[in-house]
């Protein structure tokens, strides 16, 4: 008989009835908030405060040029955009 799966965890592990039961039992015992806060990950800060997310529309040609340049330089689109904005603002 095939085990029923309820999807997968972020790491790819199948979410089975057994895993759900184990997690429920652990939750009923309670969690240590200090431990959860210590393990909390997330992205490292980029400056003196939390970074904001800005949305920009790019035409298909500009988007492709950005992607190609980022790939060529081994950088991310976001990194290239931040660098371009910094240079533009410093030049003004």
User: Helix or strand or coil: residue 7?
Assistant: strand
Q: Can you tell me the mean pLDDT for 5-11?
A: 82
pLDDT at 55: 92
Q: Which two tokens stand for residue 3?
A: 């085990």
pTM, 2 dp: 0.51
Q: Between residues 84 and 10, which one has the greater pLDDT? A: 84
Q: Using one digit for the tens of pLDDT, what is the confidence trace for 26-79? A: 888 888 777 776 766 666 777 777 788 899 999 999 999 999 999 999 999 999
The structure tokens listed for 17 are: 């009835």
């Amino acid at each position: 008989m095939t085990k029923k799966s309820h999807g997968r965890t972020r790491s790819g592990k199948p979410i089975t009835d057994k895993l759900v039961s184990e997690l429920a039992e652990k939750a009923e015992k309670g969690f240590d908030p200090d431990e959860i806060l210590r393990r909390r990950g997330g992205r490292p800060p980029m400056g003196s405060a939390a970074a904001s997310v800005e949305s920009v529309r790019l035409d298909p040609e500009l988007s492709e040029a950005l992607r190609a340049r980022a790939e060529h330089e081994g950088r991310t689109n976001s990194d290239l955009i931040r660098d371009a904005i910094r240079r533009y603002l410093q030049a003004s």
